[in-house]
Amino acid sequence: MFLEFRFHGRGGQGVVTASQLLVASAFKVGLWGQSIPMFGAERRGAPVEAYARISDTPIRRHSQVYRPDVVAVFDPKIMEVVDVSRGLKPDGILLLNSPTDKFEYKFEGFRVYFVDATGIAIKLGLYFAGFPVVNTAIVGALAKATGIFPLEAVLEVISSTWSGRIGELNAEAAKLAYTSLRGG
């Protein structure tokens, strides 16, 4: 098994942290992983990407991901300026943060999933600098959409990353996203 991931979002949404949480969750179940941030001097709100690889064998590739198996979109408005399906392999997974399954964009040949990660973050009060942070919800949804590790692995990583109430809220975000994932 060898899966490549690309994350699209805006600065401040937790895109890089999501990539790191995904890889740490894979480590929990004995898989190999690699998280690759890709950003420059962008400011909060600017488009950013991050990448991850997960494998059952050591990973020797060390570049950005050009042909992902999975793409996660933190902010659907980013699709106005970025081709999020660029390079996505046929039958690949496209996870969109959206309260609705209705989109003007047509994604033929992919398994499209939806999760209202922003709604979950708002409901739980997960904000940073006034913006909803959706990273843990996205990782919870990816656990279900890909099936490569159980939700429990994500929850363990979250609780070891954040303590106290913040850890509890982020764990709850991952659980809610896991259970409310739609599509496929």
pLDDT band at 55 (very low <50, low <70, confident <90, very high): very high
What's phi and psi for 156, nearest 5 deg?
-60, -45
Question: Rounded to whole angstroms, how far apart are CA atoms 116 and 152?
Answer: 21
Question: Which residue in 38, 8, 10 sits closest to 131, CA to CA?
Answer: 10
- Per-residue model confidence (pLDDT) at position 40: 62
Question: 115: part of which helix (H) or strand (E)?
Answer: strand 111-115
pLDDT at 101: 76
Across the chain, mean pLDDT equals 92
* CATH, range 2-183: 3.40.920.10
Question: Can you tell me the mean pLDDT for 82-99?
Answer: 94
Alpha-carbon gap, residue 26 to 54, rounded angstroms: 7
- What percentage of residues in the chain have a pLDDT greater than 70? 95
**Parallel, antiparallel, or unpaired: how do β-strands 93-97 and 111-115 relate?**
parallel
Cβ proximity of 92 and 70 under 8 Å: yes
CA torsion through residues 59, 63, 69, 74, sign: positive
Q: Is the pLDDT of residue 46 over 90?
A: no
Q: What are 135-183's pLDDT values in tens digits?
A: 999 999 999 999 999 999 999 999 999 999 999 999 999 999 999 999 9
